[in-house]
């Protein structure tokens, strides 16, 4: 067969795979070193009891003739879609048939390219979660991407596109910079989308970490967004489901694309068609687990975990500041974005930190050219490791 040559336009290896390979090599060469991993944003707290209980119950149901379930609805069980609407979209006018339950926001952000026309012009922020860029490159749209630079002088909030684009990817609270966007700033993007018949793909995977009042929890808090935005949400970071796998996409029925004749086409309908063809739904047990995150006890237990990670974020942020680093994020987000010292390239800083402090982070340039001279640390480790990492960085004397 001939291959999809677009794959040849990608970097050889996905960012987090490259880091994992480097760290494994370093560990093999230095078997006695206790490495602290603050690279990939993977959670460390165990699944909370409310969720474990719900899963156990669902597993037992599956072993009975009455409780057994085979294929479920591709879009997700109604019990979960209703809970999502009641809890995450209260008063925002989103309905259950606009929610599509899935096995991860990474997959959703990648799969959404299926319903996009090939000639769309796409705006992607820089730096950015690499999945948006790579999946568009795979689909043959490398040349269609323009970058919206998220710069330090604008507090990493990008400017609007200076030309007409059809799709804008936004992620807030942002991965990797850790900054939130205010309602006022986000409204500019929604207004742009309305004026330009563009669609916003809004990745809100880190919404649970928002602590400030003026930061929206959903793009649908912004007037008009229901006509122009698709939102991606995940249980990975909010409920520690990185290993369980559950997420959802919101595709309002009021969001339309256009065919070649300029006729409006419902994106909800297209996404439903894609989902029913390519997906057989998330397992019943996991959907019951996700449902339990909305129970009264589940909410309390999860809030404790979020607070724990946010405390790690301030330990890391304040610790770095005290050492003398310039630091961003970490207030509405589990990510801390630091400026490398003396304009050091971010991969050089990665090596230095690993060798001098045995701490792993993520080089900013891995998220795009504007991430050069920056570095990301995650607050998803343990409190002990967060404290220890700061101590080691201070002792390493790298400033």
Residues of this chain that interact with ligand MLT (CB under 6 A) are 40-42, 106, 129, 175
CA of 358: how far to CAs of 26, 205, 268, in Å?
Answer: 9, 29, 47
Nearer of residues 130 and 216 to ligand MLT, judged by Cβ: 130
SS3 60: helix
Token pair recorded at residue 330: 């970490």
In the complex, least distance from residue 55 CB atom to ligand MLT, rounded to whole angstroms: 22
Residue 42 CB, shortest distance to ligand MLT, in Å, is: 6
CB of 230 to ligand MLT, least distance (A): 18
Decide if 314 contacts 306 (C-beta within 8 A): no
Q: Which CB atom, from 268 or from 362, has the smaller least distance to ligand MLT?
A: 362
Q: Locate 390 and state its tokens.
A: 């700061």
User: Is the Cβ–Cβ distance between 290 and 80 less than 8 Å?
Assistant: yes
Minimum CB distance to ligand MLT, residue 378 (Å):
7
What tokens appear for 142 in the block? Answer: 């490398």
Q: Which residue number places its CB atom closest to ligand MLT?
A: 41
Which runs of E-coded beta strand occur in 113-205?
122-126, 145-149, 167-171, 199-203
Distance CA 206, CA 213 (A): 15
Q: Of 20 and 40, which has the nearer Cβ to ligand MLT?
A: 40
Which has the closest alpha carbon to 155: 326, 322, 15?
A: 326
Q: Which two tokens stand for residue 315?
A: 């330990």
Closest contact distance (angstroms) between CB of 171 and ligand MLT is: 10
Q: Please, what is the minimum distance in Å from the beta carbon of residue 6 to ligand MLT?
A: 21
Whether the CA torsion 173, 176, 178, 184 is positive or negative: it is negative
375: left (phi over 0), alpha (psi -120 to 50) or beta: beta
Distance, CA of 103 to CA of 317 (rounded, Å):
32
Beta carbon nearer to ligand MLT, 22 or 183: 22
Distance of closest approach, residue 43 Cβ to ligand MLT, in angstroms: 9
Shorter beta-carbon distance to ligand MLT: residue 41 or 381: 41
Nearer to ligand MLT, 228 or 354 (CB): 354
296 contacts: CB under 8 Å, gap ≥ 6: none
Q: Which is nearer to ligand MLT, 249 or 255 (CB)?
A: 249
């Amino acid at each position: 067969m001939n291959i999809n040559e677009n794959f040849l336009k990608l970097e050889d290896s996905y960012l987090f795979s490259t880091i994992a390979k480097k760290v494994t090599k370093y560990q093999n060469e230095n078997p006695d070193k206790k490495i602290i991993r603050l690279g990939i944003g993977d959670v460390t707290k165990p699944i909370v009891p409310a969720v474990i209980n719900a899963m156990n119950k669902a597993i037992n149901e599956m072993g009975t003739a009455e409780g057994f379930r085979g294929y479920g609805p591709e879009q997700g069980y109604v019990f979960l879609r209703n809970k999502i609407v009641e809890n995450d979209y209260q008063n925002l006018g989103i309905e259950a048939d606009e929610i599509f339950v899935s096995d991860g926001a990474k997959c959703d952000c990648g799969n959404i390219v299926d319903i996009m026309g090939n000639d769309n012009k796409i705006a992607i922020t820089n730096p950015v979660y690499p999945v948006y860029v790579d999946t568009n490159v795979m689909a043959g749209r490398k040349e269609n991407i323009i970058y919206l630079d998220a710069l330090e002088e604008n507090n990493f909030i990008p400017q609007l596109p200076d030309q007409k684009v059809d799709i804008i990817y936004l992620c807030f609270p942002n991965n990797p910079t850790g900054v939130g966007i205010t309602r006022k700033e986000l409204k500019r993007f929604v207004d742009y989308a309305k004026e330009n018949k563009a669609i916003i793909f809004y990745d809100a995977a880190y919404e649970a970490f928002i602590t400030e009042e003026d930061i929206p929890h959903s793009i649908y808090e912004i007037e008009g967004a229901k006509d122009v935005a698709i939102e991606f949400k995940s249980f990975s970071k909010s409920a520690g489901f990185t290993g369980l796998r559950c997420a959802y996409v919101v595709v309002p029925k009021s969001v339309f694309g256009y065919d070649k004749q300029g006729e409006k086409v419902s994106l909800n309908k297209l996404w439903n068609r894609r989902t029913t063809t390519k997906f057989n739904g998330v397992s019943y047990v996991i959907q019951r687990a996700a449902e339990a995150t909305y129970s009264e006890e589940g909410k309390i237990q999860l809030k404790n975990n979020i607070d724990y990670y946010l405390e790690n974020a301030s330990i890391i942020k304040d610790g770095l500041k005290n050492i003398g680093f310039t630091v961003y994020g970490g207030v509405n987000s589990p990510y801390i974005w630091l400026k490398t010292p003396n304009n050091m390239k971010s991969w050089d800083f990665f090596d230095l930190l690993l060798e001098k402090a045995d701490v792993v982070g993520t080089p900013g340039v891995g998220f795009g050219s504007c991430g050069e001279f920056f570095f990301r640390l995650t607050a998803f480790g343990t409190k002990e490791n967060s404290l220890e990492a700061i101590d080691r960085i201070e002792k390493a004397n790298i400033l």
